[in-house]
């Protein structure tokens, strides 16, 4: 299969050319570039675009969700900060439950 330009790839996959550019900026689907700098979508990229649509449909996620998940995988500092925040919210919820049970036992 020959590689497709952004317009052809958009027509084949149902994504708009603008969305394909967004997906590239987000690092989700990165096409090869021609010597002149044009985006070239091969079979790998077309399959990635189709599977991304299926992922969104199957799990009801937005592109921002997938973009954030990809960023978490690439950025250890962000991943650590999110893990710390989540651990704190879990501890806060556990503490709240503990205090609730203590109040019930006293009553």
Confidence of residue 100 (pLDDT cuts 50, 70, 90): confident
Distance from C-alpha of 98 to C-alpha of 34, rounded to nearest angstrom: 61
pLDDT tens per residue across span 36-73: 999 999 999 999 999 999 999 999 999 999 999 999 99
Q: Note whether 25 and 19 are within 8 A (CB).
A: no
Supply the Cα-derived Rg of the chain in whole angstroms.
22
Q: In this structure, which topology does domain 1-60 adopt according to CATH?
A: Multidrug-efflux Transporter Regulator; Chain: A; Domain 2 (1.10.1660)
What does the domain layout of the chain look like in residue ranges? 1-60, 75-107
For residue 76, is pLDDT > 90? yes
Instruction: Using CB atoms within 10 Å of the CB of residue 13, give its burial: 0 to 12 exposed, 13 to 18 middle, 19+ buried.
Output: buried
Q: Annotate 19-37 with b (16+ C-beta within 10 A) or e (fewer).
A: ebeebeebebbebeeeeee
pTM score, two decimals? 0.75
């Amino acid at each position: 299969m020959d590689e497709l330009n952004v317009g052809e790839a958009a027509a084949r996959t149902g994504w708009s050319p603008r969305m394909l550019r967004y997906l590239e900026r987000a690092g989700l689907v990165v096409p090869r570039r021609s010597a002149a700098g044009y985006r070239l979508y091969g079979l790998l990229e077309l399959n990635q675009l189709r599977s991304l649509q299926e992922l969104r449909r199957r799990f009801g996620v937005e592109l921002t969700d997938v973009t954030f998940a990809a960023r978490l995988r690439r950025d250890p500092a962000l991943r650590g900060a999110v893990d710390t925040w989540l651990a704190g919210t879990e501890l806060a919820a556990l503490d709240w439950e503990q205090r609730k049970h203590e109040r019930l036992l006293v009553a």
